[in-house]
């Protein structure tokens, strides 16, 4: 039983599972915002149009409700797409490469050992080095 719990804990704490859970929670919260936006602003406009002609009942009323749900879906999908695109762009930003440091050593042409850059004589073979 303990092994099973440890495996479940390892599974649940993986980055992908946690990211997915956060995404679901944020998506649900964002869905509520879009629903409120549709209910407060768009649905009254759509309902006002048929009232001018038929009174907005029956098939037309159902059609308006369906259109409100379709618009809600499209708005949700567009905003989530924009958020995911921004997150992916932020992940892909490459850091500027570090400036290459000046070398501190050079190679002795006679014995091929490394010597300090300012050395005039190789400490290993005592050869005179070019400047």
Q: What is the CATH number for 69? A: 1.10.1200
Decide: 128 and 121 in contact? Cβ < 8 Å.
Answer: yes
Question: Domain check: are 14 and 76 in the same one?
Answer: yes
Question: Domain check: are 87 and 113 in the same one?
Answer: no
What confidence tens digit (pLDDT) does each residue in 61-113 have? 677 777 877 887 888 778 778 887 887 788 777 666 667 788 889 998 888 89
Question: Domain check: are 86 and 108 in the same one?
Answer: no
Is the per-residue pLDDT at 54 higher than 70? no
Decide: 64 and 52 in contact? Cβ < 8 Å.
Answer: no
pLDDT of 99: 74
| In a domain? residue 96 | no
Question: Domain check: are 25 and 48 in the same one?
Answer: yes
| In a domain? residue 51 | yes
Question: Domain check: are 80 and 127 in the same one?
Answer: no
Question: Domain check: are 67 and 115 in the same one?
Answer: no
What confidence tens digit (pLDDT) does each residue in 3-41 have? 888 888 777 776 677 677 777 888 788 778 878 887 888
- One DSSP character per residue, 110-125 reads TT--EEETT-SB-TTT
Question: Domain check: are 19 and 60 in the same one?
Answer: yes
Phi and psi at 105, nearest 5°, equal: -135, 165
Q: Is 8 left (phi over 0), alpha (psi -120 to 50) or beta?
A: alpha
> What domain range is 71 assigned to?
2-91
Question: Domain check: are 31 and 81 in the same one?
Answer: yes
Question: Domain check: are 120 and 87 in the same one?
Answer: no
Question: Domain check: are 24 and 57 in the same one?
Answer: yes
Q: What domain count does the chain have?
A: 2
d(Cα 16, Cα 95) in Å, to the nearest integer?
24
Q: Is 107 left (phi over 0), alpha (psi -120 to 50) or beta?
A: beta
Q: Name the 3-class secondary structure at 52.
A: coil
């Amino acid at each position: 039983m303990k092994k099973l719990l440890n495996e479940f804990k390892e599974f649940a704490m993986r980055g992908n599972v946690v990211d997915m859970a956060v995404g679901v929670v944020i998506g649900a919260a964002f869905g509520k915002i879009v629903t409120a936006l549709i209910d407060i602003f768009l649905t009254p406009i759509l309902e006002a149009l048929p009232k001018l002609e038929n009174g907005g009942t029956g098939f037309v009323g159902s059609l308006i409700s369906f259109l409100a749900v379709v618009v809600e879906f499209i708005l949700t999908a567009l905003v989530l797409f924009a958020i995911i695109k921004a997150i992916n762009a932020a992940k892909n930003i490459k850091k500027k490469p570090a400036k290459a440091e000046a070398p501190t050593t050079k190679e002795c042409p006679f014995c091929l050992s490394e010597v300090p850059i300012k050395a005039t004589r190789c400490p290993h073979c005592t050869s005179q080095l070019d400047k």
